[in-house]
Each structure stands twice: as C-alpha cells, then as structure tokens.
Structure 1
C-alpha cells in the first residue's frame, strides 16, 4: 500500500535540482528581502502591487506602490532596463504578483516575486509601515 505522497514517484535528483534551482530565478522569500533591506544590500526595487489604499494601510518599509494594472512603460520610465523588480501582493491567496510579473516581463524588465506577500511577511514576524496619508509614501 502506498500513500498519496509516494503514489507518484519523486523526480530524479537531477530533475529536482534543476527544478528547485530554476524556482530561485523566479522567486525570493521574505527573509531574503528583509535581510537585504536591513543590511543595505537592496539591489532591487521592491514593488507593492496592491491598490493605494491597501499600501497606505500597511506595506513593507522601502517598497514603492505601483498597482499591477499601472505597470507600464510610463510608470517605469525612470528605471533602467536592467533594474530588478521584486513584486509582492497580499499573500498566497492573491495573484497580483503573477499579473505584475507578467507585465514587467513583457516590458523587458527582470522580475522576481516575493513569495508569501504581506501575509508571509507578517508570519515571519516582520512589521509593516502604515501611512497617515497617501502623501507619505511613494505611490506611482
């Protein structure tokens, strides 16, 4: 008798290595983003792709806000084409990061998603910055 876990055989070690190494080309996690932000190692632009009200209610300090429908040549014009964007949204229940990543990739910018989004960030024990007014944050 086999479990649902082992019913489909695991990939070979070589296939697993290729798969998991490839994932890191497309995503990063909250800890790595936090470490970069906390240690002056930010070599990417962190973009909160939720709406302005959600951004104002709480976002990662150091992030800018460009809601995913507004990611276009005009809103990104001041960024060099080799700028790495790291996008995040509300969390695993939201596909805003995928929509944002598709837009950025179509426009020719490198992009990764921060897995977990705001939910993951809070789960790790990190805090959010809350704006008293929309004038306090960088909203594009």
Structure 2
C-alpha cells in the first residue's frame, strides 16, 4: 500500500488538476460575497432537498434534468460550480460531468450543501434566509486549519 508512491511530478500534476476542477465551501462563500463571483452556483439536488434549504442565489437544476434544461437556463460562457448534498454523495460529480460534456466550464464544490450549512453559512428556504449554528467540528473557533 505504501510501497508505490507517485513521483513528485506526477503527484503535483494530479493535485494541480484537482484544484482546477474542485473548490470548497469557504472559497465559494468568499466569491459569492463579491459583486461578480465569476460563476453560477448550481444546486443539483431534488426539489424536496432544494425546498428544505439551499445556498442563496443558487440555480436549481437537478442532475437528472441537466440534459434537457441546461442550454435554456445556463450561459455557456459563464463557468459553473455544482453542489449536491454532501461528501457522501456523488451527485455534484455526475452533474459536473454532464455539464462539462455539454461544453460548460465546471468545478465541483466539495462538502456540498451539508458542509455549507455546517459551517454556518446562509441557507435559504421559503421562510427566508437564515444562518444555522456552525458545527464546531467543521468550523472550529479556537483553532484554524490555516489553509
């Protein structure tokens, strides 16, 4: 298992590629705070999941409907960031694959809606926008990962 390490150049290429196609909740939140984040955020979950809470300003485009709706609802010149439920779900990955296959520039938001809410970031429902309490396991206040 630990006897077949990648060469440093191969590892660097791999991690550079991941950073080109993935982003995280903190970076998406910071970008959305800007006047023009430079992308559209797409929630790929079901209607019921969307209604239970979503990132304010996100576009709701369920993964199963991308082939039929993407061209009418997304501008191919604007990059897309996809998210689904959380790290245990690959719906955002499948949606990113579908969108990139249609010609969109795409990144996947790691952690999905679960980590968005767990970090205490704004959540929108029919009742309005609120901030859930931050989970101390994902958003420690006394210690930072320093990344």
- Fold shared per TM-score above 0.5: yes
Q: TM-score, normalised by structure 2?
A: 0.78
Return the offset for 1:36: 0.5
CA–CA distance in structure 1, aligned partners of residues 81 and 24 of structure 2: 10
Task: Determine the structure 2 residue equivalent to 1:138.
Answer: none
Q: TM-score, normalised by structure 1?
A: 0.81
Could you say what secondary structure the match of 1:87 adopts? strand
1:50 to 45, 58, 83: 45
C-alpha contact 1:56 1:130 (8 A) present in aligned 2 = yes
RMSD: 1.9
CA–CA distance in structure 2, aligned partners of residues 37 and 21 of structure 1: 23
How many residue pairs end up in the alignment?
Answer: 128
C-alpha contact 1:73 1:107 (8 A) present in aligned 2 = no
* Higher share of residues assigned strand: 2
5+ residue gaps in structure 2?
129-147
Return the offset for 1:16: 1.8
Please show how residues 72-91 of structure 1 align to structure 2 within 5 Å. 72=67, 74-91=69-86
Distance 1:78 1:64, change over 3 A: closer
Task: Determine the structure 1 residue equivalent to 2:110.
Answer: 115
2:20 to 11, 25, 31: 25
CA–CA distance in structure 1, aligned partners of residues 5 and 118 of structure 2: 30
CA–CA distance in structure 2, aligned partners of residues 90 and 78 of structure 1: 21
C-alpha contact 1:89 1:96 (8 A) present in aligned 2 = yes
Higher relative contact order (CA 8 A, sep 6+): 1
C-alpha contact 1:56 1:132 (8 A) present in aligned 2 = no
